Amino acid sequence: MLKDFSILTHAYDATSAQLDDATATERRLSQLRGCFSDSEAYDEALAREDSLLYRVTAVEPAHGNGDLHYGLGVLYPGKVGSEYYLTKGHLHRTREAAEVYIGLTGEGMMLLEDEATGESRLEPIGEGKVVYVPGHTAHRTMNTGSTPLTYFGVYPANAGHDYGAIADRNFLKVLIEENGIPVLKDRISL
Ligand code: F6R
Ligand code: ZN
């Protein structure tokens, strides 16, 4: 019911890349141990600085059937070795829950991986791009540009996040920079 909602509009602050009155989650390099393929480059980068890689501010207005949650993500530019800064990546706890990503600024890619078959797809995300992430699909975002990548993600309230399944084996593909351009490789071949 309408009266249950104290706030329906949240300000999207383009400068801080945050939503007001939302729950913020920050991820630093130290929290992404095991995500990058080059563990030596990871240890070296971490010894230099525990950099902030990304932040998500999430709004979870209601939790019933049919409700929606959404978040504004900002993923900063950078690399560990030749691998672009990335999000941890996850499946939804409710596996059939899909999601829509709306790119706002910057340039990046989404790595999608079918949980059942391991089939991978790389989709561009950033200014002017909207990506549909089907259910049963692990998803990770990479910043391939030189400015912050910002995006909205909108998903069913019951989607939830399952980080464990993907953390156990990591994504099968890795996006690295080679001769100045992003190239998708098999993790196993690195
Ligand atoms: C929500 C969603 C995004 C991510 C965000 C950070 O379902 O996909 O809002 O949560 O891009 O990535 P993770 O959650 O993988 O650290
Ligand atoms: Zn998601």
Q: Whose CA is nearest to atom 16 of ligand 1?
A: 88
Complete domains list, the chain, with CATH: 12-189 (2.60.120.10)
Say what percent of the chain tops pLDDT 70.
100
Burial class (CB in 10 A: 0-12, 13-18, 19+), 51: middle
Residue 34 backbone zone (phi > 0: left; psi -120 to 50: alpha; other: beta): left
Q: What is the mean pLDDT of residues 93-107?
A: 98
Q: What's the gap in Å between 89 CA and the centre of ligand 1?
A: 7
The C-alpha atoms of residue 98 and residue 135 are separated, in whole angstroms, by 4
What is the DSSP-derived secondary structure letter of residue 90? B
Ligand 1: residue of 92, 141, 170 to mutate (most ligand atoms within 8 A of CB) is: 141
Q: What is the mean pLDDT of residues 71-76?
A: 98
> Does the Cβ of 56 fall within 6 Å of ligand 1?
yes
Q: What is the pLDDT of residue 67?
A: 97
Q: What is the pLDDT of residue 16?
A: 87
The C-alpha atoms of residue 61 and residue 144 are separated, in whole angstroms, by 32
> Does the Cβ of 57 fall within 6 Å of ligand 1?
no
Q: How many CB atoms lie within 10 A of CB 23?
A: 11
Q: What is the mean pLDDT of the chain?
A: 96
Q: What's the gap in Å between 58 CA and the centre of ligand 1?
A: 10
189 residue type, one letter: S
Q: What is the pLDDT of residue 189?
A: 82
> Does the Cβ of 89 fall within 6 Å of ligand 1?
yes
Q: How confident is the model at residue 188 (pLDDT cuts 50, 70, 90)?
A: confident
φ, ψ of residue 39 in degrees (nearest 5): -70, -30
Contact 111, 120 (CB under 8 A): yes
Q: How confident is the model at residue 1 (pLDDT cuts 50, 70, 90)?
A: confident
Say what percent of the chain tops pLDDT 90.
93
Residue-wise DSSP of 106-150: SEEEEEEEETTT--EEEEEEETT-EEEE-TTEEEEEEE-SSS-EE
Residue range 109-166, pLDDT digits in tens: 999 999 999 999 999 999 999 999 999 999 999 999 999 999 999 999 999 999 999 9
Beta-strand runs (E) in 12-78: 12-13, 18-19, 23-28, 52-59, 68-75
Ligand 1 atom nearest the C-alpha of 140 is 15
> Does the Cβ of 87 fall within 6 Å of ligand 1?
yes
Q: What is the pLDDT of residue 168?
A: 87
Q: How confident is the model at residue 14 (pLDDT cuts 50, 70, 90)?
A: confident
Q: For the whole model, what pTM was predicted?
A: 0.97
Contact 52, 28 (CB under 8 A): yes
Q: What is the pLDDT of residue 2?
A: 94
Residue located via tokens 């080679």 = 178
Q: How many CB atoms lie within 10 A of CB 78?
A: 16
Q: What is the mean pLDDT of residues 36-64?
A: 97
